[in-house]
Amino acid sequence: MAERSAYFIENERTVIHKQDIKIQLEQLGIQKGMLLIVNADTLHMGYLNGGCQAVIEALMECVGYEGTIVVPTFTPQYKDPACQKDKPPRQQWQEIRKQALPFDRKLSEPMGADPFVYQFLRNDAVLRSNHPLYSFAAWGKYAKLICDKHPLHFALGKDSPLGKIYEMNGYCILLGCEYEACTMFHMAEYQEDIFPVKLVSAPIESNHRILWKDLLDIEQHNENFSEIGEVMEDRKIVKTAYIANSKCHFFSAREAVNLASTYFHMYYDEI
């Protein structure tokens, strides 16, 4: 099990520099040329000298120009009001639909994201996939490949950016967050045909007009993700370490999806 040094424990507001982060990422196993999907919670990492940009540059320098970094930039606030978890008052739905703004790759703000995500989008050469609800941003050698042709239907399935990461044998890193935040696990939900298909709508721009587009998808769940992570740790396929105050996990995306798929199959067969 990863342990923090006494220095970090006694100094909860640890000052951490880009070079420190880079060294610790390399010790965790990140190498030149890797394809990484990153989920991050930097708010408890300590005092980041340079802010989230220090973390981003450390990641970029670790994987180099031959590597690729992918970050989820989801915008569930674009769902039709009738499809949202926290629905606005019904009497306002029609006006919301009428006044809605379409998803814009450059301007649409990820909902409830860590500052790391917003800062990543500001970096030069970062691309973003064109999905109104489940877009991904990417930087590096395979950024265009990852972001191109993101299907509107079943947005986290085998033909999505997650599917490409799986096929290209990429890796996941959870920076300061636990397994509940692991986006890669969602791909396994699509593989097992466990959850019923649903219809959601989101606004897109077509010929300078806003259209509400119907999308086929499933309801994503993460209540089992923590247990899946524990199984992965038991099987020794996760490397865990602290970067300053934050516990981080590093593992193969393909192994994660395969194990999660098996878990879902067994778990839901028993229900």
- What is the per-residue pLDDT for 100? 94
Dihedral pair phi/psi, residue 172, rounded to 5°: -110, 140
Q: What is the pLDDT of residue 85?
A: 85
Going by their DSSP bridges, the two strands 171-175 and 246-252 should be labelled as antiparallel
pLDDT for the residue numbered 120: 99
SS3 120: helix
Cα gap 261→187, rounded to integer Å: 8
Give residues with Cβ within 8 angstroms of 27, minimum separation 6.
241
Six-digit token string for 242: 């602290």
How would you classify residue 50: left for phi > 0, otherwise alpha for psi between -120 and 50, otherwise beta?
A: left
pTM exceeds cut of 0.75:
yes
Regions of the chain where pLDDT drops below 70: 1-13, 192, 269-271
pLDDT per residue as tens digits for the range 227-267: 999 999 999 999 999 988 899 999 999 999 999 999 998 87
**What pLDDT does residue 10 have?**
45
Kind plus residue range of the DSSP H or E element containing 59: helix 52-63
Separation of alpha carbons 102 and 100, rounded Å: 6
**Residue ranges of the domains in the chain?**
6-270
What does each C-alpha distance from 42 to 35, 38, 48, 131, 148 come to in angstroms?
A: 21, 12, 9, 25, 28
Residue-level pLDDT at 4: 46
